Copies of this chain bind each other. A is one copy, B any other.
Amino acid sequence: MTAEVTENLALGRLDDEARAALFTSARTANTWTDTPVTDDELASIWELAKWAPTSANIQPLRVLYVRPGEGRSRLVTHMSDGNKAKTQAAPAVAVLALDTRFHEHIPAVFPHRPELKDAYEANEAMRENGGRLNATLQAGYFILAIRAHGLAAGPMTGFDSVGLDADFFPDGRFKSFIVVNIGHPGENAWMQRLPRLDHEDVIRWA
């Protein structure tokens, strides 16, 4: 690639409004308005999130969108008690899961080094650690991609993943690790914002 191409991709800074939508004002929602979330919106969230980077482009995250109805009621049975009502009520819900056999796609997504598929096949720790790390990175991208659509996210780890997987992913290949409610925030949607750690507790310099 030429230097001109680099030039053309000069990067913009997010303005305060965009920072507010993703980070500084956005909040985890616990109630929802009746406004539906369309299948187009849900597909578009993935269309945005998919571009952010993963190690060797492995992209191990999978997404199950659970619409209102029978599937939703079944999903709610696997949620912790404190998460049942809001998950039942949410306009849309995404189950985020790791594809434990993500490496089967490597010849397509990392075509200049297809033999990496065999390296992952042979090394269970590398497959497990790399899959888990990158699926979780992608979950972070996904939560912010929901917010980029003007929607509120309600990510939860309080659910029975073994029961959920047996119910929704019975072949054992996908392993759920986060469930995210998606919608427009309703009345009293948020709890009081909790404090963040001080910089000196988080940041070091060398």
Interface residues of A, Cβ cutoff 8 Å to B: 1-3, 5-6, 9, 11-15, 17-28, 39, 42-43, 46-53, 55, 57, 59, 61-67, 71, 75, 105, 108-111, 130, 132-133, 136-141, 143-145, 147-153, 155, 157, 168, 177-178, 185-192, 194-197, 199, 201-206
Q: List 26 A-B contacts (CB under 8 A).
A: A1-B190, A3-B188, A5-B190, A6-B190, A11-B147, A11-B150, A24-B48, A24-B51, A26-B52, A50-B197, A51-B196, A53-B153, A53-B155, A55-B157, A57-B195, A59-B197, A62-B204, A63-B203, A65-B205, A67-B205, A109-B194, A109-B195, A136-B136, A136-B137, A140-B140, A141-B143
Please state the number of chain copies in the assembly. Answer: 2
Given contacts A105-B197, A136-B137, contact A185 B9 (CB under 8 A): yes
A64, A138, A148, A195, most chain B CB atoms within 10 A: A148
